[in-house]
Structure 1
Amino acid sequence: MANPFATEAMAAGYARRRPPVHRRVMELAARARGWRLPFRRAVDVGCGAGVSTKALAGMAEEVIGVEPAAGMLRGSGAVAPGAWFVAGAAERLPLAGGSCELMTAAGSLNYVDLEAFFPEALRVLTPEGTLLVYDFSPGRRFREGGGLQEWFEEFQRRYPPPVAEARALDPEILGGLAAGFELEAAERFELGVTLSRDFYVGYMMTETNVAAAMRAGAAEAEIEGWCRETLDPVWGEREREVVFTGYWACLKLAGGC
């Protein structure tokens, strides 16, 4: 399955322009499950530029990020200081058996062969280990006031999302596909993050529909210019709270503790 993030531009964008949602999702799951922190070792599968790996700081004594697109890792050390990073596929994790107590996957399993991944997750996790899968949609509406939802819809009409590059996943689907695992708990969430207009424009430039438009020949400057011009009357000068919706799902080894 094609990885739409495997470019130098996307790596740079992910390192600097993604909103701080990952840590808050991790905290939601940790509180809900009553985790005793820190874990001994945690691995972030499909870690990208390290933004999701950074969210594991303090939650494990050792944190490892694994990413199939080696170019995404160029700036990962600066994004998540103290973590280890290695190029590798989710279907062939470069880790010893029974070596991790926590495995996370933030929006990455949509792009992997799940029939190959779940046996690898079983191999790498300890018998009491936890697999936490989570994802969230792009922030597309304000907490208060309108305009952003309509802008986002026009943004996607002008720059359509790529077709069939990702498998749809949610807790129910995961529970049916995760051979060898049991769905222990799951939650759908809504989080608000306060952002400036300039940050939001940069964030939109890391979306897969922009990557697809650029692969088709659109100029990055033209896309960014359109975003800035059309967002001005919607956003105004002040920072706005943008809403992100998503889910987390906690899976344990079937028959484990």
Structure 2
Amino acid sequence: MTQTTLPTASLDAEIAALGARHQAAHNVGMQVLNLVGSQAENLLERLPDSVKDRLEETTRGALELAFRAARQSRGVVPDQKGWLNTAVATAMGAAGGAGGLPSALAELPVTTTVLFRAIQGIATEYGYDPADPQIAKECLTVFASAGPLSQDDGAELAFLSARVTLTGSTVHGVIAKVVPRLSTVLGQKLAAQTVPVIGAAAGAATNYAYTSYYQQMAHVHFGLMALAERTGRPRAALVEDLRAALKQNHFN
């Protein structure tokens, strides 16, 4: 990618646009909390101990399956529009929530695959090839963000600063680093889907929130990557610019 020198106003405008996506990523998550009537931290307490104890193992299995399935399906099924990814995931969430915890667990790897394919599609929009092992790892790191039911901006900005290097790093190694945070995120989703009476509605709402969230965060992630390559400005410096823009917007 050819480096260019952007005028300060243009760079600020691009950072502001990415900041707007970052903020939009959380908006739908608040709708889920309103629906289930609980704080995200308390959602995990709804899960049986047997499920909580195996949450990281379940998440690792879902993510590894999603990685393989998404990679294999790219030559067969084209990337879809963002709204269609959201619609498909929302319908699956409703079906998963309708049957309570057993159906929600069965739906989890399918939804994770849809999310991963959506992230790959956004990488393509920015000119990256998801078949490139480096970009595949970057796609995985999008799952390291805080999640739609959290306001942990620090974790999200740290994930945006991270560089996944090829040296000594395998896909399994990246997955192992992502799983602890993602297991909490997916545990919240499972718990929301088990809410009595509104399980199907909560399942649809959580999948809508999660798909919207990860697509927006993928835009921020790959947008910053592309901007760093175009301008020669370090990604970490651009993340600091984003942090400042978010703080300024918060207080205005």
TM over 0.5: no
Higher helix share: 2
Higher strand share: 1
Q: What is the TM-score with the length of structure 2 in the denominator?
A: 0.26
Structure number with greater CO (CA < 8 Å, separation at least 6) is 2
Q: What is the TM-score with the length of structure 1 in the denominator?
A: 0.26
